[in-house]
Structure 1
Amino acid sequence: MKNKSLPSLLKKLSKQIACLLFAVSTFQAHSQNAFELNSGWKCAPIRDVKNTGETISAPAFNLNNWKNAVVPGTVLTTLLNNHQVPDPFYGMNNERIKDIYVTGRDYYTYWFVKDFKVTVPAADGQVYLNFRGINYSCNVFLNGHRLNSKVHAGMFLRQSYNITKYLNKSGDNRLAVIVYPPDNVGNPNGGQGGDGRIAKGVGIQYTAGWDWIQPMRDRNTGIWDKVTIETTGSVNIVNPHVVTLVPGVRKPEGPQQPAIIQAAAELQNPLNKAVSGTLVFTINNVKVSKKVTLQPASTTEVKLSDFMLNNPKLWWPNGYGEHYLYPSQFQFITADNKVSDQEKLNVGVREIQHTFNTHTNSQQIAVNGQKIFIKGGNWIISDAMLRFTDARYDAEVRFHRDMNLNLIRVWGGALIERPEFYNACDKYGMLVFQDFWISGDANGKWLDPYKAEDQWTRRKYPDDHQLFLKSAADGIKLVRNHASLAIWCGGNEITPPEDILVPLRDSIMPKLDGTRWFVDYSNSDKMSVNTLGGNGDGPYGIQPLSTFWETHTYPFNSEIGSVGVGDYESLKRFIPEQNLVVPQYANGRGKVDSVWDYHKYIGYDASIEPYGKVKDAEDFANKAQLVNYDQYRGLIEGFSSHMWDWYTGVIIWKTQNPWTALRGQMYDYYLDPNACLYGLRNASEPLHAQYNPVTGMVSVVNNTFDTKRDLMLIVRATDMNGRDSLLTQIFVEAAPSSMKNFLPMKAAVDKFAKEEGVFLTLQIKDVNQKLISENIYWLPDEQGNYSGLKKMPASAVKITSKRIAPGKVEVTLTNPKNAPVAFFNRLSIVNADNHQRLLPTFYSDNYISVLPGSQKSVVIEYPSSQSSSQVLLSVSGWNLKEQLLKIGE
C-alpha cells in the first residue's frame, strides 16, 4: 500500500465514523447560545512575526502570508496539514521531523489568529470567550486589547474571558493567541517520558516518548481543545453540578424506590449592580428552584434543595442493564422573567460504592448496591496528536463495549479525558477510572539512568504545585456530571507529592466531587494489597495460558497485558513494503526489522512456531491472530476463574494505541479490530463456559445479577476432519456474579488431543434448547504443536448475506455435516474497487469458527455512506481462501 497522507486518511476515516452515528447524544453542558471557533484560523511561527499582539489582533492587520491552521489542534497537526512535515505515524517519518529539544522552543512557538463575527449585545447581555485547553502557555488578544493580565500557563486549565466591552460595533472581530511550548520539553532519549523533565510542567508526559510511542516533536504545543464564543444575558451559569444518590440494593428491572437528586451551579454576575432571579433545575419534568440576589461583580455557588425522583430509570454498567440518561437543564430566569442563560446536560441516575474485600485483600466496586466484577482496559488517549472528534471517541468506546468490558482506566501520563469521551462512556455503560497527571516513571519512583535528575528531585515534580491543584479542581468540574466517572486516582504507580495529595484528597475532592472513590495511586495497597512483591501490576507481554489460570497475581490488577499485532492489512497501513519482514525468534532471542522496532514491536517469542513455519509477513500476521485470540481469552478466563476468591477486578494493559504501535491493542490506530478484541469479547460474555488448560475443569461464569437455572452445559470434541464426539452434557445452575466448577474433563480431552490436537467446544443452552453461549478451543497435540491444523482439509462453508438496513448487513456461515470445522474466519467489508477495508466497521463477532452441521450469523455495521455497489464482503479463514462476495439485498 502506498503511503497516503495522514490528513486525507483521517478525513476519510472521520466521514466514515460519522456515518455510523445515527443519533449521537451530547451529554455535556451546553450553553443557551454558543458556537465553536473551529475553522478559518491562520498561523505563523514567532520567528516570522515581529509585531505585537495588540497590532496583530487589529482586524486591519494583513494576514495574507499566514498559513491555514488547525484549531483545535497542535502545531504539528498544522504543519502536517500544510505538507511541511511527513506523516509521523508512517514508517520512520517521525525521525525526519525536527524535535523541539534540538530546535529550541521558539521553533514551535506560534501565533494563531481567527476572525469572527459577533455583535455587541443589547442591554445587559454578555459575551464570553472560552478556551478549554492550550498547551502550554499563552497570551490572548482581541481587537487590539490583551485579555490576560499575566501569561496563562497550564495545559489543562480552562480560560474564560468576558469580552463584551472589547467587541467591535461593526461585529467584525479578531482574536490572536501566541502559544508557547512547555517550559521543559525534555530530552527524548528513549526513557519513559524521555529524561523525565517533561513532567516538570502540568501537562502530558508521553510526548517525550514511552515504550509504546515515539516522541511527539512539538510536545503537542497548540490550542489543542475547543474554543467557544458564548452569549448570555446578565447572568452566566458555569460549572453546574448534579449528584444522584441511589440507596439500597437495586435490580435493573422492575419498579424502583426513589433516588435523591442534588443540584447546584455557579452563577456569574459581571455587572456593577445586583441582579435578582431564580435558578431552576429540571429533570424528567420535575423542577426545583431557588430565588437569589447576586451581588455585583461576583460568582456565587447556589445549591438547590434535595428532591426525590420517583421510580427512576437507573444507569447501569455495560452488561448489567440499561445505561439510561435523563435530559435535564439549569436555567437562570431574571426578575423580568427572561432566560439569562441555560445549560443542558444528561444525567445518569446511579450511585458508585466501594468496600474493601478482606478475602481478596482488594477494593470491590458496586453500582446501585450491586457488586461488579471489574473487567477493564487501560486507555492512553484517542490520538497522540490530539485530533479528537466526537465520532472517533464514540467508535473507540463502542469497541470497548463490544469487548464486554465494563471499565476504562485513563492512564496518568495523558490527560483528564474530554467530555466527549465521557459522553461515549455514558452512552455505552463504561465505568471510568481517571488518573491525574503523575507517573512513577517520570515522577521518581525508580532509579532510572535515562533521567536527567535524581529521584529526590523528580519526586517534587511538577514545579508548580499550586497550578497542579488549580488544574485538578478545574478538571473535576469539567467532567464530574458524567455517570460513567467512577474512580479518581492521584497518579500512575505513584502518588503526587504530599502537598498536592493531601489537599486534593482531603479538601478539593470532598468539596467538588465527594461521592466517588479517590485512590491515591493506581496500584496502591488501598486498592489492591500487594503481598507478591514487585510493582503491584503486570506481567506484560506474551504469557503461557497456564499463567493466567494458576499464577496468583494482584487482587485488583490495574495493568496486565500481552501482545497485539494487527493483521497484514493493518501492518500495510504504516509499514513500508520493503520493511514488511517477518520477526525472527530462535534460541530464546528475537530479531526484528528496524521499522517494526521503531513502532514498538513486542515479541511473540515461540508462540507462532506451533502453528507451522512462517512463510512471510502476511503469514506471520495471520498466525499472530490465533495467538492474540488465545491470549486475551485466556487472560479474562483465568481471572474470572478466581472471581471473588483471588480477584475483584482486572484492567488490561492496554486496549488501544493513539499511534501506530505494534503492541497492546484490540484495534489499530485506524480503528481496525484484530483477534484480541474477539477473544476478549468471547471470554467476557454475560454467561460463559470455559475450560481450564491446567486442570481440565469445565466451569460456568455468570456475569449477571440473576440466578440462571435449567442450563444445559454441553462438552464436545471435534477432530480435524469434522468427526464430532459428545463427551458429556449436564443441567447446571449458575448463581449471580459467580464462577462454579462442574466437570473434570482433562483425561478425556487429552486423549482426543494426543495425536493431532482437537477442537473442544463448550456450549450452554437454555431450557428452550436455545444456544446462548459457544466457546470453541483449538488444543495442540501432546507435543504442544498444532499438527492437525497444519494438514486440515479445506473448508466447505457456505456464505450468505442480506442487507437489513443502510450500512448494516447480516452474514450467515453454514457448515455442512461431515465437513471439517470452518476455522477462524475473518469477515470484512471492503471497497469494491481497491478491496481495502471500510473503517470503522463493527461486527457482532469475528474470527469465528463453525462446527460441522451448524451455522452462525454475524451482524456487521459499516459507514452507510457507501452504496451497495461500492462494497463487497470479504471472508477468509484458516482453511478458507479469501472470498469476495456481493452483499445480498
Structure 2
Amino acid sequence: MIKTFTVNKAALISILLLNAVLMAVPSKAQNSYELNSGWKCAPIAKVKEQGTVLSSPVYSTASWMPATVPGTVLTSLVANKQMPDPFYGMNNEQIPDIYKTGRDYYTYWFVKDFKQAAAKGKQVYLNFRGVNYSFDVFLNGRKLNNQLNKGMFMRRSFNITKWLTAGGDNRLAVIVYPPDVVGNANGGQGGDGTIAKNVGIQYTAGWDWIQPVRDRNTGIWDKVTIQTTGAVKIKDPHVITLVPGVRQPEGAQQPAVIKVSTELQNATALPVSGTLQYILDGKKIIKKVTLKPNSVQEIKLDDYTLANPKLWWPNGYGPQNLYKLKLQFVADGDKVSDEENISVGVRQLTTEWNSRTESRQVNINGQKVFIKGGNWIISDEMLRFTDARYDAEVRFHRDMNLNLIRVWGGALIERPEFYEACDKYGMLVFQDMWGSGDCNGRWLDPMKLEDQWTRRKYPEDHDLYLESIKDQVKLIRNYPSLAMWCGGNEITPPEDILKALRDTIMPALDNTRWFIEYSNSENMSRNVNGGNGDGPYGIQPLTVFWNERTFPFNSEVGSVGVSDYTSLKRFIPKESMVPPVYDEATGKTKTDPVWDYHKYIGYDGSIIKYGKVKDAEDFANKAQLVNYEQYRALMEGFSSHMWDWYTGTIIWKTQNPWTAMRGQMYDYYLDPNACLYGLHNGSAPLHVMYNPTDGMVMVANNTFSPKTNMMLIAKMYDMAGKETLITQVFVDVTAAATKRYLSIKKNIDAAAREDGAFVVLELLAEDKTPLSQNIYWMPNEKGDYTGLQKMDKAQLTASAKSLQNGKIEVTLTNSNSAPLAFFNRLSVVDAGTKERILPAFYSDNYVSVLPGEVKRVVIDYTPVKNAPAPQVSISGWNTAERFITVGN
C-alpha cells in the first residue's frame, strides 16, 4: 500500500526551486509541440480496464495521480509525496526495491488529454523519444502498436492522423512496463549484473558512487511530441562537414565542403513530387524528387563548397561558430511539407597514432588537441532532464577549462539538449555505447549471479541492441561536439555486436568519427614503460600526478570530491553531521552511516595536516583545500608531460546524478566546490606551474599560437605577508607545448622549513597584462600546514556592483601591510534568507589575494523575477564571513 511521506523540507525546496528555474522549454520546431504537462498516472494494480477503455475521453481519471512526463514512476511518486526524497539521508532505504516487490509494483498507466484536430492534406504524428522499458499505446479507444514496443533507447513514431477525433479532443493512454530483468541490488557494481540483460541503463542497480534506483527508471523518461507535416516528412537528416588542411582559428579560411542527405517519408497512397532543399549562409541547394507511395527513400543533395567558413573549435582553442541550416521539402505548389532547422558546426575530426606517447592523438581542423576531459554519468538519476540544467552542467565543464566530456557506458547515449550545450561551450564528446566490464563479464566477480561466459553475451536481445544503436546514432550524429563513439566501458560488446558496429553500422551511418572498441582499448592507449593503466583513483600525494606514468590517453583518473558544509546540509541530517575520523596507525576511517551511504571516499591524513578537525563544518572547509590541490596537481601533472607521455586524460569523474560525496566538481544542486576551481586553474590554456618534486617552474601552452616575450615572476610570501622575489625573467613557449625553465626548490625548502610559505608564479605580457597566476601553499618540512593555522586575520575589503541584470562584479582589495587573504569562497545569495542562488557561475572562486593586490570576480546567475537585489557572501581561511550589498 502506498503511503504519504514527509520529505526533508530544505532538500525538497531546493529540488523544487531548481526544477522550477530549469523548466524545459517548448520544442523549437514550428510544426511540433511537447506533451509535457497534464499527465496522470496509476499503478496497474488499481486499474482493471483495458487501454481501449482508458483512452476514451469519457473515462474518468479524477482519482489518478498527477504524473511527471518526461520522467519516471519514482519521479511522480516523489513529486506527489508518496515516496520520500531518495537524495536525502537514508530515505532511499524506505523506498521499495523492484527486485523485492516484483515488476507489477512499478508498472503504471499514463494518460494525457490533448487538443489536436486533423486538417486536410496534413499528417499528424505522435513521437516518443524514450520509454523504459516496454510499452503499449492507445489513442481514442484504439491500440496503435501491433506488438510491444521494447527497449529504453528506441524512438517510436505513430501516424495518428486517421485516429484523431473530429472535434480535436483526444485521449492518449500508455502502459509502461519496467525492464524485463530488474537485477538484484546486492551491493555489486550494477548489483548482481543481470540488469545488463536489458538494452538499458546499468547503474540503476547500484554502483560504488550511487545507491540503487528503486524503480530502475521505469517510465516515459524522454520527450513526447505531436508533429504535423504535409504528405512528406523529413526523417533523420545527416550533415557532414569536411575541412581539409591545417587550419588556424583566426584569419581567412580555405573552403569547406558541406554534404547533406536525409530520409523522406511519403505517408500517402499517391506519388509525391517536389523539391528537397536547404539554405545555408544565404545560399540555397536544391534537388527535384519524386517519392513513391507509402515509401521511405534516402536522398543525397549535391555537395556544397562553403567559402571562407567560420570554423567550430573545442574550448580553449578557438570560437564555437555555428551556422543555421534550414532543410525543407517543398511539394509542387510551393507548399512546405516539412522542415528541419539544424545547427551546423563546420569542423573535421581526424586521429592518428602518436608513436612517442604510444596513444591516439585527436586532431580538429588539422590541429592536434591535448584532451583534458571529464567523465559524465547522467544529469539526474530520476531522469529529470531540462535544457537549462544541461546548459548549466556543461557550462561548468567549460569553466573547468576542459575540452571533452566522456559519457560513461553504464548510463545512456545523451540527449540532443546535452549535445546542444556541448556545441555551445566547445566540449568534445566521447560517447560510450551501453555496456560495462563490471556487468558484462570482464572480471571474475562473486557479486554477480552468472558466470563471465554468460555475462559476456549480455544483453539478451542483440537485434534490439543493434536497432537501438542505429536509432540513437541518427538522433545525435549532426552535432559537431560528438567526436568519438566507444563500444563500451572497459570491455567490448559481444563479438557479433562489435563486428556489426565497426564494419557495417558506423561506416554506413556516421563514418567521419573515431570508433573505439572499448574505453581503455590498446588501439587508443598502450600500457608502456611500466604504466599503471587507468587511475589512480582517490586521494594521492601530489607528486604522483607529476611523476608516475599512467596510460598515455587515460580514460579514467580521479580523486576526492566532498562539497562544502552548505552543500552537505542539503542532504545530511543534523544528527549525522559527524566528520570522518582517520586512524593513521591502521589506515582506516570511522565514518557516519549516512556519509557511508552517500559513498564517502576517504581523505586519509590529508585533512589533519591543516589542524585538528573541530566539527563537520571545519572538516568540509579543510576538504576544499585538499580538493583544490588534488585537481590542480592532477591536470598540471598530465599537462607537464603532454605530447611526451600523454595525448590526453579524462577525470573520473566530474559530476554526480545523486547526492554522492565523491568525484564531483559541483554537487547535485549545481553548487560548485573547490575541485572545480583547482581544475579551472590547473587546466587553463596558458598556465604557469610548479613541480612539487623537483621545484621546476614550467609553462603549459595549450593553444595553437606561440607565446613570446612574457615576463615570468617567481616570488614567495611568508605567513605575515612579507614578499621575497626569487626570480624575474623574460620567457617564451612554442605552440601546443610545455616548457621547463628553472628550479626554485632550494629557495622554497629553506623558506618553508618551519611554518610553510606561499609560492606565487605569474606570467605577464609585454605590456604587463596578467596572463597567468598560480598561488601554492607549501607545507613545512614535516608536511604540515602549521603556518596557516597561525595566520593573522586578513584585511580584505570587498565591494560588489551590478554590471547588468544577472551579472555582478566583485572587487577584492587586500591591504599592503596585511597577510595574504587566503582561499576566499564567494557566493551570490538571497538577501533575505542568505541561501545561495543556484546555479551561479564565477569567473574564479576560492580566491587568494596577495598583499596590496586587487582582484575582480564576475558572477553570472539567473535572477528571480521581482526578487530584491541579491547579496554576495565572502568567507575565507583568515576572513570571517560577511555579506556585501550589490550596488548599481
Relative to the length of structure 2, the TM-score reads 0.98
- 1:10–1:564 Cα change, 3 Å: same
Structure-to-structure mapping, 1:210-359, within 5 angstroms: 210-359=207-356
Does 2:155 match 1:158? yes
SS of corresponding position for 2:633: helix
Match among 78, 81, 84 for residue 83 of structure 1: 81
Structure-to-structure mapping, 1:530-569, within 5 angstroms: 530-531=527-528, 536-569=533-566
Structure-to-structure mapping, 1:793-812, within 5 angstroms: 793-812=792-811
| Corresponding residue of 1:500 | 497
Does 2:72 match 1:74? yes
Does 2:45 match 1:40? no
1-structure distance, mates of 2:485, 2:766: 43
Structure-to-structure mapping, 1:97-496, within 5 angstroms: 97-122=95-120, 124-496=121-493
2:721–2:819: 8 Å Cα contact kept in structure 1? yes
SS of corresponding position for 1:887: strand
SS of corresponding position for 1:55: helix
1-structure distance, mates of 2:8, 2:74: 18
Q: Could you tell me how far 1:3 is from its partner in structure 2?
A: 2.4
Greater relative contact order (CA < 8 Å, ≥ 6 in sequence): 1
Deviations 1:182-219 (A, max 9, x none): 01000000000000000000000010000000000000
- 1:696–1:5 Cα change, 3 Å: closer
SS of corresponding position for 1:886: strand
| Corresponding residue of 1:859 | 858
2-structure distance, mates of 1:699, 1:64: 69
Q: Could you tell me how far 1:800 is from its partner in structure 2?
A: 1.3
- 1:604–1:196 Cα change, 3 Å: same
2-structure distance, mates of 1:566, 1:17: 22
2-structure distance, mates of 1:654, 1:86: 27
- Report the count of equivalent residues: 881
Deviations 1:632-669 (A, max 9, x none): 00000000000100000000000000000000000000
Task: Report the AA paired with residue 159 of structure 2.
Answer: N
Q: Could you tell me how far 1:329 is from its partner in structure 2?
A: 1.1
| Corresponding residue of 2:3 | none
1-structure distance, mates of 2:221, 2:527: 39
2-structure distance, mates of 1:169, 1:5: 48
2-structure distance, mates of 1:788, 1:56: 72
Q: Could you tell me how far 1:748 is from its partner in structure 2?
A: 1.1
1:274–1:294: 8 Å Cα contact kept in structure 2? yes
2:531–2:551: 8 Å Cα contact kept in structure 1? no
Task: Report the AA paired with residue 40 of structure 1.
Answer: G
SS of corresponding position for 2:763: strand
Percent of aligned positions with the same letter in both sequences? 64
Deviations 1:583-618 (A, max 9, x none): 010121111000000000000000011100000000
Comparing 410-419 and 63-72, the one that deviates more? 63-72
Comparing 6-15 and 393-402, the one that deviates more? 6-15
1-structure distance, mates of 2:417, 2:381: 16
1-structure distance, mates of 2:130, 2:862: 31
SS of corresponding position for 2:887: coil
2-structure distance, mates of 1:532, 1:77: 49
2:11–2:570: 8 Å Cα contact kept in structure 1? no
2-structure distance, mates of 1:339, 1:577: 61
5+ residue gaps, structure 1, are none
Does 2:636 match 1:637? yes
SS of corresponding position for 1:11: helix
1:156–1:202: 8 Å Cα contact kept in structure 2? yes
Task: Report the AA paired with residue 11 of structure 1.
Answer: L
Q: Could you tell me how far 1:836 is from its partner in structure 2?
A: 1.2
| Corresponding residue of 1:60 | 58
SS of corresponding position for 1:13: helix
- 1:506–1:184 Cα change, 3 Å: same
| Corresponding residue of 1:698 | 697
| Corresponding residue of 1:819 | 818
Deviations 1:796-852 (A, max 9, x none): 011111111112111111111121000000001111222111110110000010111
1:431–1:484: 8 Å Cα contact kept in structure 2? yes
- 1:77–1:534 Cα change, 3 Å: farther
1-structure distance, mates of 2:49, 2:865: 49
2-structure distance, mates of 1:722, 1:785: 19
Task: Report the AA paired with residue 226 of structure 1.
Answer: K
1:32–1:341: 8 Å Cα contact kept in structure 2? no
Match among 43, 48, 51 for residue 50 of structure 1: 48
2-structure distance, mates of 1:127, 1:136: 25
- 1:31–1:275 Cα change, 3 Å: farther
1-structure distance, mates of 2:166, 2:455: 51
Deviations 1:119-164 (A, max 9, x none): 1121x31000000000000011111111110001000000001111
1:281–1:331: 8 Å Cα contact kept in structure 2? yes
1-structure distance, mates of 2:455, 2:157: 32
Q: Could you tell me how far 1:370 is from its partner in structure 2?
A: 0.6
Deviations 1:648-706 (A, max 9, x none): 00000000000000000000000000000000000111211100000110000111110
1-structure distance, mates of 2:16, 2:258: 42
Q: Could you tell me how far 1:9 is from its partner in structure 2?
A: 2.6
1:5–1:87: 8 Å Cα contact kept in structure 2? no
Task: Report the AA paired with residue 756 of structure 1.
Answer: D
Q: Could you tell me how far 1:863 is from its partner in structure 2?
A: 2.1
- Root mean square deviation, CA, Å: 1.4
Comparing 373-382 and 55-64, the one that deviates more? 55-64
1:384–1:658: 8 Å Cα contact kept in structure 2? yes
- 1:6–1:116 Cα change, 3 Å: farther
- 1:70–1:131 Cα change, 3 Å: same
5+ residue gaps, structure 2, are 1-5
Q: Could you tell me how far 1:472 is from its partner in structure 2?
A: 0.3
Task: Report the AA paired with residue 551 of structure 2.
Answer: Y
- 1:32–1:870 Cα change, 3 Å: closer
Q: Could you tell me how far 1:17 is from its partner in structure 2?
A: 5.0
1-structure distance, mates of 2:807, 2:280: 35
Q: Could you tell me how far 1:8 is from its partner in structure 2?
A: 4.0
2:10–2:570: 8 Å Cα contact kept in structure 1? no
- 1:867–1:737 Cα change, 3 Å: farther
Q: Could you tell me how far 1:15 is from its partner in structure 2?
A: 4.1
Q: Could you tell me how far 1:536 is from its partner in structure 2?
A: 3.0
Q: Could you tell me how far 1:868 is from its partner in structure 2?
A: 7.4
Q: Could you tell me how far 1:328 is from its partner in structure 2?
A: 1.1
- 1:38–1:876 Cα change, 3 Å: same
| Corresponding residue of 1:782 | 781
- 1:302–1:668 Cα change, 3 Å: same
Task: Report the AA paired with residue 380 of structure 2.
Answer: D
2:7–2:81: 8 Å Cα contact kept in structure 1? no
Deviations 1:435-464 (A, max 9, x none): 000000000000001100000000000000
